[in-house]
């Protein structure tokens, strides 16, 4: 049995005046602020050898902070008989239409009911092993509350081929979204780097710090005055890329309470974003294949409301 890890840090001047939970999350970027808040509540963090009484304590230069980090519990991924909306399948690749609300792969807090659980039941051992036991066959992901098409690799050869196409930006990934505000142009692109938000570790942001290049092409499909129906095509595939880029150019997605207004309008239960078109070269034959899925019922209903108004 492994012992818990002890993190130890002496605060330097750059973090002076920062809340202790925030300071620790900035130092240890793989852990979130809420993670350290839970450790504080459990008495697992000491300050200069003493328990931290004030959870909002702002650190001073020279403070010695120690945190006891419990060993993570290993995830056990089980096959689950969850229906899949399959668009294509052969011995190399599986294309599925993921519903909104389904997480792609298990993680702490989401250990069942994921797309991986469903795919394991459907495919058995016929999945690539490159991404390990937590993400077998998973080549790319979409957010829990984004619906649409995903490709699954059923062997390592297929996985390598699809991953290479992603790296070369040759895969077609076209999304549909409803965004706030009108556009002065009919099409454009956003070429801005995306990384973890320096002010909020749970979010992504356009930033020059620890970021990667991100490119999103967009075009207007319909205009509704205060809202616009758009297509967004990914050239790169960063976490939350479309949501972050659209918010950056002052067109946040309708229903996106993380990057947009905290308003629930037109019955939107989450961001109105759907991965509608997916195209790639078949890993074995090299033939180009393209698939298109219809808009979810909620998305279509919101469009109809906007058209009537």
The predicted-structure confidence for 155-209, as pLDDT tens digits, reads as follows 999 999 999 999 999 999 999 999 999 999 999 999 999 998 888 777 999 999 8
Q: Is the pLDDT of residue 153 over 90?
A: yes
CA–CA distance, 71 with 91 (Å, rounded to integer) = 38
Nearest to 149 by CA among 235, 234, 276: 276
E strands present in 80-234: 86-89, 93-98, 147-153, 172-180, 187-191, 194-196, 204-206, 215-223, 227-234
pLDDT over 60 (residue 126): yes
pLDDT for 3 beyond 60? no
Query: Tokens standing for 226?
Result: 């205060």
Task: Domains for the chain: give ranges and CATH numbers.
Answer: 5-69 (3.10.290.10), 73-168 (3.30.2350.10), 170-309 (3.30.2350.10)
Indicate the pLDDT class of residue 30, thresholds 50, 70 and 90.
low
**Contact 107/75 with Cβ under 8 angstroms?**
yes
Task: Given the residues 21, 92, 143, 256, select the one marked as catalytic.
Answer: 143
pLDDT tens for each residue of 38-68: 888 888 899 998 888 777 889 999 999 988 8
Verify whether residue 4 is a known catalytic residue. Answer: no
């Amino acid at each position: 049995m492994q012992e818990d890890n002890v993190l130890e840090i002496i605060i330097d001047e750059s973090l002076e005046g920062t809340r202790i939970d925030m300071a620790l999350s900035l130092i240890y970027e793989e852990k979130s602020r809420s993670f350290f808040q839970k450790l504080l509540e459990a008495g697992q963090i000491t300050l200069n050898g003493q328990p931290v009484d004030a959870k909002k304590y702002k650190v001073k230069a020279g403070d010695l902070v120690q945190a006891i980090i419990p060993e993570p519990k290993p995830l056990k991924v089980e096959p689950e008989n969850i229906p899949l909306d399959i668009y294509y399948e052969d011995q190399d690749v599986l294309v599925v239409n993921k519903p909104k609300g389904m997480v792609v792969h298990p993680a702490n807090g989401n250990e069942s009911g994921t797309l991986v659980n469903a795919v394991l039941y459907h495919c058995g051992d016929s999945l690539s092993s490159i991404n390990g036991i937590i993400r077998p066959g998973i080549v790319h992901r979409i957010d829990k509350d984004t619906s649409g098409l995903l490709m699954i690799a059923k062997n390592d050869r297929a996985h390598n081929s699809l991953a290479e196409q992603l790296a070369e930006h040759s895969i077609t990934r076209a999304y549909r979204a409803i965004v706030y505000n009108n556009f002065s142009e009919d099409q454009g692109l956003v070429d801005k780097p995306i990384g973890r938000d320096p002010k909020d570790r749970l979010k992504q942001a356009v930033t020059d710090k620890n970021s990667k290049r991100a490119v999103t092409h967009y075009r207007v499909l319909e205009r509704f005055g205060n809202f616009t129906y758009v297509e967004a095509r990914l050239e790169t595939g960063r976490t939350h890329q479309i949501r972050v880029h659209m918010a950056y150019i002052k067109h946040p997605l309708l229903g996106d309470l993380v990057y947009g207004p905290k308003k629930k309008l037109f019955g939107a239960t989450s961001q109105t974003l759907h991965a509608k078109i997916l195209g790639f070269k078949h890993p074995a034959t090299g033939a180009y294949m393209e698939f298109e899925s219809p808009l979810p019922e909620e998305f279509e209903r919101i469009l109809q409301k906007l058209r009537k108004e």
